[in-house]
């Protein structure tokens, strides 16, 4: 065992002229006396090798090596006091073989001192207290990189040095290695602080001569220093809503951002600016709160505004990383536009005694949001309907006012009605000095008798009609045909009867004359002497 430990192992450290594919020349691993099947002995890490083409092999049939570099026991392996050695080879696309000797060292930790049962002599620790170490993330130099010489002072080659823990044999593996002779700690590959900000490692020291572990394991913490390698990112949706015609200084919304770099540094100190849209909006450089700068936002002119927001770390310094995105600001509708009439006045005619009849449809225009309460009209008869003869309702599809006659009018009492119609909205006016508009509607009342007399003169019939005062008659083509058809039929029937009567009379007259156009017959009632005389 002593001869084995005396034969020292060295790392192949070439900093400036390191080859493209690097593999440690030797690796010491502490293992149990009996290694069970499936036990992961170690993990071989390559530096700078082509990950796609690299191939690893192990020259010991008791072990196998996986594609990720893990060396696993295939069978139960016994490790003697002198240890066990096997080699691992690596090839990549350069087709040059690199070899590593793996030294399995059996753990021979002495028993701890127990009170009342004597004690075992332990080597006195002569190490300085290890401070925490720092490394910079995304290191771009050559590997391996020397971090710290952690061995004792003065160095007298009395000890072996091993490490275990995060970055060594637990996730993420293959980050650190240690020179077993000198205790030098090396970085094997670049690290990312955002993925793993610190590593907790244990250093194990063995006496070369006794192969005994010195005291307890020595803790070491390696902290990764941050570099500004992450641009800020937007968080949450960038869609906001604000009422139209709101006052200047109204809060629109808050832009949220985050940065993955180290908290408390300028790497995460974000400055907010507006690249576009600053004529109507502004953003607080530290909080990201967007507010309005004017009260002239009009939904009817432009219902959506798009602004470009820029977020930059390092408090907006020129070397800071940044990102941009667009935020949409929608204007919600307020009732700042009353309905307007298409005409300035209307005239309509109604006959007296008519009721429940649609007289007029009154269209209006409204610039507010269609189908909303700010757009829906509500019509009111504000003058001329004191007796309740009229009513007006809104057509929900066309938003028109429909004027109806509800109760009959009497021409003798009034032949002209002056109405005033006002157009309002379901919602009250807001944010505007405009008022509800009104228009006059003149209703002419026609007398029913006058209408009928005029119709009689037109058709040339001198028929005097008297209707009950509660009924009205309207003459049209159908009414005229109703009157004329029976008269015509009666005349035709009369003519037919006259014709047949004349025919009958003519036949009767011919019969009475006795001229039948033949030989006269002798009567059976004649006296005998008359008959004899005839003979």
What is d(CA 518, CA 510) in angstroms, rounded to the nearest whole number?
Answer: 14
On whether both 352 and 402 belong to a single domain, the answer is yes
pLDDT for 523? 43
Asked whether residue 381 falls in the same domain as residue 306, the answer is: no
CB 70 within 8 A of CB 97: no
- Domain count for the chain, please give it: 3
Residues 41 and 134 both lie in one domain: yes
DSSP string, 337-381: ---EESSS-EEEEEETT--SEEEEEE-EE--S-TTSTTT-EEEEE
For residues 400 and 294, membership in a common domain is answered with no
Q: Tell whether 240 is covered by a domain.
A: yes
pLDDT at 101: 84
DSSP 8-state code for residue 41: E
State pTM to two decimals: 0.59
Question: In this structure, is residue 497 part of a structural domain?
Answer: no
Q: Is the dihedral of CA 422, 425, 427, 430 positive or negative?
A: negative
* 106: CB partners within 8 A, 6+ apart: 30, 31, 32, 33, 79, 80, 81, 83
* 245 & 215 share domain: no
SS3 assignment, position 382: strand
Q: Going by C-beta distance under 8 Å and a sequence separation of 6 or more, which residues neighbour residue 371?
A: none
Q: Is the peptide bond before 528 cis (omega within 30 degrees of 0)?
A: no
CB 281 within 8 A of CB 290: yes
Domain membership of residue 499 (yes or no) is: no
| Interacting residues of 85 by C-beta distance below 8 A, sequence separation 6+ | 101, 102, 103, 104
For 6, the domain range is 2-110+128-225
Please give the pLDDT value at position 106: 72
| Of 386, 392, 340, 338, the residue nearest 361 (C-alpha) | 392
User: 284 and 237 in one domain?
Assistant: yes
* Same domain membership, residue 362 and residue 309: no
d(CA 163, CA 410): 114
**190 and 322 housed in the same domain:** no
Query: What tokens does 183 get?
Result: 């205790």
Task: List per-residue pLDDT tens for the chain, 535 residues long.
Answer: 333 333 333 333 333 334 456 677 777 788 888 888 888 888 887 776 776 777 888 988 889 988 888 899 998 888 877 788 898 888 776 667 788 888 887 765 443 333 333 333 444 444 555 667 889 999 988 889 988 877 664 455 678 888 999 999 999 999 999 988 888 899 999 999 999 999 999 998 888 877 787 767 888 999 999 999 999 999 999 999 999 999 999 999 999 999 999 998 999 999 999 999 999 999 999 999 999 999 999 999 999 999 999 999 999 999 999 999 999 999 999 999 999 999 999 999 999 989 999 999 999 999 999 999 999 999 999 999 999 999 999 999 999 999 999 999 988 888 899 999 999 999 999 888 889 999 999 999 999 875 554 554 454 444 444 444 444 444 556 667 777 888 888 888 888 888 888 877 776 665 555 554 444 444 444 444 443 333 3
Residue 277 forms part of a structural domain:
yes
CATH of the domain at 414: 2.60.40.60
Instruction: Give the Cα separation of 277 and 193 in Å (integer).
Output: 37
- Rounded to whole angstroms, the Cα distance separating 416 from 398 reads 29
């Amino acid at each position: 065992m002593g001869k084995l430990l005396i034969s020292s192992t060295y790392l192949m450290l070439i900093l400036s002229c390191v080859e493209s594919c690097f593999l440690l020349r030797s690796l010491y691993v502490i293992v149990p006396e009996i290694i069970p099947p499936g036990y992961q002995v170690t993990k071989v890490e390559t530096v700078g090798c082509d990950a796609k083409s690299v191939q690893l092999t192990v020259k010991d049939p008791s072990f196998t090596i996986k594609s990720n570099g893990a060396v696993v026991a295939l069978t139960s392996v016994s490790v003697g006091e002198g240890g066990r050695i096997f080699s691992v080879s690596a090839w990549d696309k350069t087709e040059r073989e690199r070899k590593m000797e793996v030294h399995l060292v059996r753990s021979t930790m002495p028993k701890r001192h127990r009170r009342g049962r004597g004690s075992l002599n332990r080597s006195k620790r002569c190490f300085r207290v290890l401070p925490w170490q720092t490394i910079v993330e995304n290191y771009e130099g050559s590997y391996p990189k020397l971090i710290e010489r952690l061995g004792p002072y003065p160095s007298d080659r009395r000890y072996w040095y091993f490490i275990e823990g995060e970055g060594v044999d637990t996730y993420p593996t293959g980050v650190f290695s240690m020179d077993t002779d000198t205790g030098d700690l090396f970085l094997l590959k670049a690290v990312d602080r955002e993925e793993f900000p610190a590593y907790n490692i244990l250093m194990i020291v063995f006496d070369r001569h006794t192969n005994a572990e010195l005291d307890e394991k020595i803790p070491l913490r390696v902290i990764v220093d941050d570099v500004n390698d992450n641009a800020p990112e937007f968080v949450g949706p960038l869609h906001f809503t604000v009422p139209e015609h709101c006052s200047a200084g109204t809060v629109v919304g808050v832009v949220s951002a985050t940065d993955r770099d180290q908290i408390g540094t300028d790497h995460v100190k974000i400055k907010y600016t507006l690249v576009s849209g600053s004529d109507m909006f502004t953003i607080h450089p530290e909080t990201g709160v967007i507010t309005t700068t004017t009260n002239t936002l009009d939904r009817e002119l432009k219902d959506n505004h798009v602004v470009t927001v820029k977020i930059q770390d390092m408090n907006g310094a020129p070397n800071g990383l940044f990102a941009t995105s667009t935020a949409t600001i929608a204007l919600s509708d307020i009732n700042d536009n009353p309905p307007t009439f298409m005409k300035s006045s209307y005239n309509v005619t109604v006959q007296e005694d008519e009721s429940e009849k649609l007289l007029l449809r009154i269209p209006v225009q409204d610039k507010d949001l269609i189908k909303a309460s700010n757009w829906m009209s509500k019509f009111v008869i504000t003058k001329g309907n004191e007796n309740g003869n009229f009513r007006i309702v809104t057509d929900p599809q066309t938003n028109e006012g429909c004027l109806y006659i509800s109760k009959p009018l009497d021409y003798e009492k009034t032949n002209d009605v002056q109405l005033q119609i006002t157009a309002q909205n379901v919602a009250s006016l807001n944010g505007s000095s405009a008022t509800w508009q009104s228009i006059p509607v003149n209703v002419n009342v026609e007398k029913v008798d006058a209408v009928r007399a005029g119709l009689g003169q037109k058709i040339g019939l001198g028929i005097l009609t008297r209707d009950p005062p509660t009924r009205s008659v309207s003459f049209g083509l159908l009414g005229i045909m109703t009157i004329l058809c029976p008269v015509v039929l009666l005349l035709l029937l009369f003519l037919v009867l006259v014709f047949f009567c004349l025919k009958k009379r003519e036949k009767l007259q011919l019969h009475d004359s006795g001229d039948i156009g033949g030989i006269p017959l002798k009567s059976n009632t004649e006296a005998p002497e008359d008959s004899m005389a005839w003979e």
